[in-house]
Amino acid sequence: MAERTEQRIEDRIPELEELGRVGLLTSKEIRAVIKKTLALEYKIQRRALHKENFISYIQYEINLLELIKKRRARTGYSFKKDEIEYSILQRIHGVFKRATTKWSDDLQLWLSHVAFCKKWVTPCISLSLSLSLSLSLSLSAVALWIMAAKWEMEDRLSSESARQLFLRALRFHPECPKLYQEYFRMELMNAEKQRKEKKEFEQAKMDLGEFSYSEEILNGAMARVVYRNAVQKIKGAEFLLSLLSIAKLFDFTQDLQKEILENLQAEYANDPLMWDYIARQELEKDSLPTTEHRSKQSKAQEAALKEERCCMVFDEAVASLPTELHRCFLNVLTFFFNLQRSLLATLPADSVTMKEKYIEWAYMAGGYKKAKKVFTSLHESRPFSLEFFKKMIQIEKEQESCKMSNIREYYERALREFGATDPDIWLDYIREELTQSQGKPENCGSIHWRAMKVLQGEQVETFISKYTLLQTGHL
pLDDT of residue 344: 43
How far apart are the C-alpha atoms of 30 and 74, rounded to whole Å? 19
Question: What count of other Cβ atoms lies within 10 Å of the Cβ of residue 124?
Answer: 11
pLDDT of residue 315: 63
Angle at 97 between CA 122 and CA 173, to 5 degrees: 100
Q: What is the secondary structure of 295-348 as a DSSP string?
A: -HHHHHHHHHHHHHHHHHHHHHHHTT-TTTSHHHHHHHHHHHHHHHGGGGGGS-
* The amino acid at 233: K
How far apart are the C-alpha atoms of 473 and 450, rounded to whole Å? 22
For 96, 125, 215, 237, 264, the CA distances from 267, given in Å and listed in that order, are: 48, 50, 30, 8, 6
How far apart are the C-alpha atoms of 149 and 155, rounded to whole Å? 10
Burial class (CB in 10 A: 0-12, 13-18, 19+), 273: middle
Mean pLDDT by 10 residues, the chain (475 residues): 78 88 91 93 90 93 91 78 80 89 79 78 50 55 80 83 90 92 95 86 65 67 93 94 93 93 90 78 61 62 67 64 52 53 42 72 80 84 85 92 93 94 94 90 91 89 84 68
Q: Give this prediction's pTM.
A: 0.56
Cβ partners under 8 Å of residue 43, min gap 6: 50, 53, 56, 57
Cβ partners under 8 Å of residue 257, min gap 6: 244, 247, 248
Residue boundaries of the structural domains of the chain: 1-103, 285-379, 403-475
pLDDT of residue 101: 82
Per the DSSP assignment, residues forming a β-bridge with 125 are 122
* The amino acid at 120: W
Task: From 385, 423, 428, 387, select the one nearest 408 (Cα to Cα).
Answer: 428
Q: What is the DSSP letter of 399?
A: S
